[in-house]
Structure 1
Amino acid sequence: MAGSVSSSDQEKGSTQGIEDAKATTPLYNEHIDVSGVDERKLLRKIDIALIPWLSLLYLLSFLDRTSIGKCLYNLEKDLHITDDQYLLALTIFFFSYAIFEVPSNVFLKRLRPSLWLSGLMLCWGIMMTVQGLVHDFGGLMGMRWMLGVFEAGLFPGVNYYLSCWYKRSEFGIRAAIFFSAATVSGAFGGLLAAAIHNMDGIGGKPGWAWIFILEGLATVLAGVLSFFIIQDFPDTAKFLSEAERTVVVRRLQEDDQFSAAGEQLKMKYIYKSILDWKTWIGMMVYVGADMPLYAFSLFLPSIINQVRRDKGFKATPANLLTVPVYFFACVITCGVGFFADKWGQRGYLNLVFLAIGAVGYIILIASRNAALSYFAVYLATCGIYPVIPNSIAWVSNNVEGSYKRSVTLAMVISFGNINGAVSSNVYRANQLPWYPLGLVLLYIGLGLIFSTTFLIFLRRENARRDRGERNEIIGDDKSSGLEANGRYDTVADAKRDKGDEWSGYRYTT
């Protein structure tokens, strides 16, 4: 038919349009000579400055929030609380933790990370320490609430912060390494608590109080050091030269992170995040792995104890059985993060590992054999640990705009954490040694359903953009039928205003 355009010609035209758009975008710090900057060495320098310390902070964070589960050495008796009150103390943490994640991420972008993250850590370390000085249920509830308030900013904040340093194809492995600090916490947290409990009676304090006090003081020390160690955003980071900062920002802008050079806070960016369908589907994807994470820490000890009884192990060797589980979780998490960055296809990786996790949970539900259940734990791990950072990276990869991404990530993570309260109340001591894990399997199912939904919707939207259905009108262009997509003087204006809604932006699947 005369005048028709083939799909291949259309795709070429769309690709050329993206290249033309990039060519017309102003170069950041055009006057700076960056010829002497080795990009690989620069990336290594950034990794060394950021990842190890941030991972240590998350290790301390996870130790602090889960230490109450290891403080049952007479805690209920000493504070004169019931089992229901103990569960309330677990639950209240999740509410304050979830409520304050979004505002904390906005403040992080507005302020310097070296001040905001360090200040939060110092404050929650103090709350953790004071938790060891409480004498009744009210005091414990107050400290758990405040612990959640100050811890809320670290996990979503660091994930957002890292997304401001790395390309979309580099972010996943860094997020995975950061998150795998939780597996290290799980591997030795119980043994650490058992060792500290040997201080029972020193200074007139029970063993559980010393667990809170010493872990809290370690966090306070790390918070003070963080003021000097945590770096700020790329465009102001002091450990880089001006040429190196310029290279970092240009790399991000080439990766369609147009706001990397800085962005003013406008309420419309926050509204865009709240109204974006990707935020809401991302929340459901993430919760599919996050709620099972908290349940995992509850049912793993019961399985280990059952293995101990069946095999005749003493307590310490039984505790050591948790170490290979968490080591496997660490390896599989980092491996998925690496290959997701290399291959892309984060959605498909989610589906594969959630399916493996589902098999593990089905075995855990059906099995009453401790050895078989212990094997199934390794499969269940696949549906939790690698999926959490992969889902965060997947959502982050598909949101552009500094403030919009900070709010979206905080909403996604806070929704996952509020569902952590479910595991605190559903799985109770009277259900030992075999917890009913059908609810966890339901959450894994939600992860599978919404990962599939996210994948389909992203592919459809990319196809619409390839067909030119989302094109804006630029300058004096007389194209008709595109007014709904907006009219802009330049491509740079369209990028700045629309973020990931710009027609040249392509979502990662």
Structure 2
Amino acid sequence: MSTPEISAVVEPAGGEAEPSKVKKILLRFSPKEEHALVNKIDWNLMPLVKTLFILAFLDRSNIGNARIAGLEESFNLSSNQYDWLLTAFYISYFGFEWIGFLWNIVPAHIYVAVCIFGWGFFASLQSAVTNYISLFILRFILGIGEASFGPGVPMYLSFFYQRKELGFRTGLFMSAAPLSTAFAGTLAYFITKFADKTPIDSWRVLLFVEGLPSMAMALVVWHYLPDRPSTAKFLNLKEKILVRSRYRRRIEIDGEQVVDGSHGHGFNMQEVFQVLQDPKVYVTSSMFFLANIAYSSMPVFLPVILREMGYESITAQGMSAPPYIVAYITVIAVTFYSDKKKSRAEFIVFFASMACAGYVVLAVSRETFVRYLALFFVTSGFFTVVALVIAWTVNNQSSESAKGTGVVMLNTIGQCGPIVGTRLYPDSDGPYYPHGMGICALSMLLVAILAILLRRHMALLNAQSEKEERYNLVSADEDEASFRASTDSVVPSALDADEEYDEEDEEFQDEDDTHHTLFYETISQAEARQLREQYGFDIEIIDDDKTVDDVMKAKAKFIARKKAIKFKYML
């Protein structure tokens, strides 16, 4: 029989009166119901968030497609001037990373709607410029809009998902980057084909059209993007109570310091300073910096690289799509498996090494087919690494303030990478660009080395924490064996806390072990009354004093033991 689920009993939002004065009422959940809740959040949240990032990445990287659609000739741009157009975006993106703190302060539906309308407006406005300086300024402003959105999304997703669920969702979000780039090439192909039949410059039509969807999506975001799970319109009362239970278990089992947002948003400056003094956040930020050298440069230069391989401009637009489609599938598959294994470093090492090998081939090979094949390894490698590094950073911060600070630091340092990456492919290095390819290869190799070192360091910290836990537990009046014997009839040992619910284990669970396999949440009388009116006998509400007392005592023993359990780093 599989390890039974831990029963968690929590106080309702806002708190209750003393147990002796108010009778406690419990609502019972099954693991199936929690699994259904996560699926419902997935289907209502992830498509919207993913669409927004596709639009953001489309508006960011379409300058590369505009270049080979005639922008370069219209303004007689030199290679250095084009590089500065790319750099302008990342200078503002880097300089305005601090705006990401607003995710914890401003309601998400308002904040994101303003961001996406702003960057869509300025993206389309680029089509009306008449000189290089105007285009440079608009690219700078575009960077401010996107810096406000993309870097904070993984932290936003952590409001909805547990640590073991976050890697795959971050992968779903980040996979929008290769999908957008593939889509950008195909879309640019058809838009420029159409624009060739009009008196308007093809690049102007391209930039104008690709900015419009972002502005339109701002209205959708305002009405449908949830601020927190506790206020999500697509969740009913029972599901919101289960969300409350999930938040409590994140505190009691994972050691996180989170709030459900039902009483506003907060920010703890002490936790901010603690993160700023933590060397681990600078290691992951350095990994992100190195990965971003490749991540930022390839999408905007790939059409030019393909053109230099001998393809015509329009054909190069279409040929840029297949490597990104493969990368899209790879990111989703790898992040899903990474969540299953509850591991990040080993996947980062493998895919960083794969990208490094691809760049080496691009640097030394002169065969067109071999170079094109290497692009598949490169794009799948660095897109996957970026997604996993972001998830790893968020996973290993215990509170929302710490997660926010970690994400801001990750991007503040990491987004310096694109400033380097966008200057790696000058025309003078064409058609093979050996220096740029070599620098990217070295960067990805360093990512793999840093991941190995950080994993080893975190494993040592986890081992040290386990020794301290053992000492604390042995120091208690009950030793480990007697505690197991006294609590196994109600809750599993805290030593099994990491073996959380897995759908595959469900068929092995004993139906009689109700305390093991079901969750409990304290609810108010008003909530109980409303649930009974809605569900009738199809819901299990427990108000029997003896059963409630048994569960509450089990909870008290479990929480007492959990005080010895420390936050563990995900490796």
Bucket of the pairwise TM-score, normalised by the shorter protein: 0.7 to 0.9
**Counterpart mapping for 1:58-207 below 5 A:** 58-72=53-67, 73-79=69-75, 81-101=77-97, 103-198=98-193, 200=195, 205-207=200-202
Deviations 1:44-99 (A, max 9, x none): 11001110111111111111001111112332443455432222121011011122
The aligned counterpart of 1:35 is: 28
Mapped to 2, the partners of 1:121 and 1:56 lie a distance apart of 11
Whether the 8 Å contact between 2:292 and 2:414 is mirrored in structure 1 is yes
Distance of aligned partners of 1:60 and 1:33 in 2 relative to their CA distance in 1, 3 Å threshold:
farther
- 1:176 and 1:333 in contact (8 A); partners too: yes
- 8 Å Cα contact 1:299/1:435 also seen in 2: no
SS at match of 2:290: helix
* 1:359-410 superposed Cα distances (whole Å, 9 cap, x missing partner): 2222222211111112222222342011111111111111011121012112
Correspondent of 2:368 among 361, 367, 370: 370
Q: Kindly tell me the number of residue pairs found equivalent between the two proteins.
A: 459
Contact 2:127 2:205 in 1 (8 A): yes
* Equivalent pair of 1:307/1:318 in contact (CA under 8 Å): no
Secondary structure of 1:260's aligned partner: coil
Task: In structure 2, give the amino acid aligned to 1:430.
Answer: S
Which residue of structure 2 lines up, in the alignment, with residue 463 of structure 1?
Answer: 463
Letter in 1 for 2:329: V
From 44, 57, 66, the counterpart of 1:49: 44
Fraction of identical pairs, as percent: 28
Residue 304 to residue 234, structure 1, CA distance change in 2 (3 Å): same
Task: Tell me how large the CA RMSD over aligned residues is.
Answer: 2.9
User: Which residue of 1 is the match for residue 408 of structure 2?
Assistant: 410
Structure 1 residues 205, 230: CA separation in 2 closer, same or farther (over 3 Å shift)? same
Q: Is the 8 A contact 1:164 1:234 kept in 2?
A: yes
Conserved in 2, the CA contact under 8 Å of 1:177 and 1:334?
yes
Which residue number corresponds to residue 328 of structure 2? 330
Q: 1:354 to 1:80 in 2, by over 3 A?
A: closer
CA displacement 1:455-505 (0-9 Å, x = unmatched): 0111111111111189999xx99xxxxxxxxxxxxxxxxxxxxxxx99611
Structure 1: segments with no counterpart, 5+ residues: 1-18, 478-500
Shift of 1:204: 6.4
* TM-score, normalised relative to structure 2: 0.74
Q: CA deviation at 1:137?
A: 2.1
Please identify, of 297-306 and 452-461, the stretch whose mean Cα deviation from structure 2 is larger.
297-306
Higher RCO (C-alpha 8 Å, min separation 6): 2
Partner letter of residue 465 of structure 2? R
Q: Tell me which of 267, 270, 294 is aligned to 1:268.
A: 270
SS of equivalent residue, structure 2 residue 382? coil
Describe the superposition over 1:253-303 as per-residue Cα deviations: whole angstroms up to 9, x where unpaired: 423233133463232222222222221111012223222112322553355
Residue 213 (structure 1) aligned with residue 208 (structure 2): yes
1:458 alignment partner AA: M
Shift of 1:315: 5.7
TM-score (norm 1): 0.83
Q: Contact 2:396–2:569 (CA<8 Å) still a contact in 1?
A: yes
CA distance in 2, matches of 1:49, 1:471: 45
Counterpart Cα distance in 2 of 1:217 and 1:502: 54
Note the alpha carbon deviations across 1:155-185, whole angstroms, 9 max, x for none: 2221111111111111111111111111111
Q: 1:250, 1:446 → 2: CA distance?
A: 41
Classify the secondary structure of the residue corresponding to 1:258: coil
The whole-number CA distance in structure 2 between the counterparts of 1:344 and 1:48 is 23
Q: 1:350: which partner in 2? A: 348
What is the one-letter code of the residue matched to 2:80? D
Is the contact between residue 113 and residue 221 of structure 2 (CA under 8 Å) also seen in structure 1? yes
Contact 1:282 1:412 in 2 (8 A): yes
CA contact (8 A) 1:80 1:137 kept: no
Is the alpha carbon distance of 1:451 and 1:32 closer, same or farther for their aligned partners in structure 2, counting shifts above 3 Å? farther
Deviation track 1:335-368 (CA, whole Å, cap 9, x = no partner) reads: 1111100012211111111122222222222211
**After the TM superposition, which residues 237-386 of structure 1 pair with which residues of structure 2 at under 5 Å, given as runs?**
237-255=232-250, 256=254, 257-262=256-261, 264-298=266-300, 300-305=302-307, 308=310, 319-386=317-384
| Deviation per residue, 1:196-231 (Å, 9 max, x gap) | 234548996422122221111211001122111211
Distance 2:77 2:371 in 1: 33
Counterpart contact for 1:96–1:149, Cα < 8 Å: yes
- Contact 1:32-1:243 within 8 A present in 2 as well: no
1:442 corresponds in structure 2 to 442
Partner AA of 1:68 in structure 2: I
| Other-structure match for 2:568 | 506
Q: Secondary structure at the match of 1:261?
A: coil
Look up the equivalent residue of 2:179 and give its one-letter code.
V
2:491 aligns to what?
none
The 5 Å alignment of 1:224-243 reads 224-243=219-238
> What CA distance in whole angstroms lies between the structure 1 residues aligned with 2:61 and 2:447?
24
Greater mean alpha carbon deviation, residues 108-117 or residues 70-79: 70-79
Deviation at 1:249, TM superposition (A): 3.6
Contact 1:308 1:315 in 2 (8 A): no
Mapped to 2, the partners of 1:222 and 1:301 lie a distance apart of 28
TM-superposed CA distance for 1:32, in Å, is 7.4
Residue 414 of structure 2 aligns to which amino acid in structure 1?
G
2:568 and 2:278 map into 1 onto residues whose CA distance is 16
CA-CA distance at 1:243 after TM superposition? 3.0
- In structure 1, how many angstroms separate the alpha carbons of the residues matched to 2:289 and 2:152? 18
Q: Is the 8 A contact 1:58 1:178 kept in 2?
A: yes
1:433 aligns to what? Answer: 431
Q: 1:159 to 1:470 in 2, by over 3 A?
A: farther
CA distance in 2, matches of 1:180, 1:392: 12
Whole-Å Cα distance in 1 between the matches of residues 49 and 357 of structure 2?
Answer: 33
Any stretches of 5+ residues in structure 2 without a counterpart? Answer: 1-5, 16-23, 478-562
The answer to whether the Cα contact below 8 Å between 1:347 and 1:451 also exists between their aligned partners in 2 is: yes
Larger deviation, residues 58-67 vs 235-244:
235-244
Q: Distance in 1 between matches of 2:206 and 2:376?
A: 29
Answer yes or no: is the 8 Å Cα contact 1:292–1:384 preserved in 2.
yes
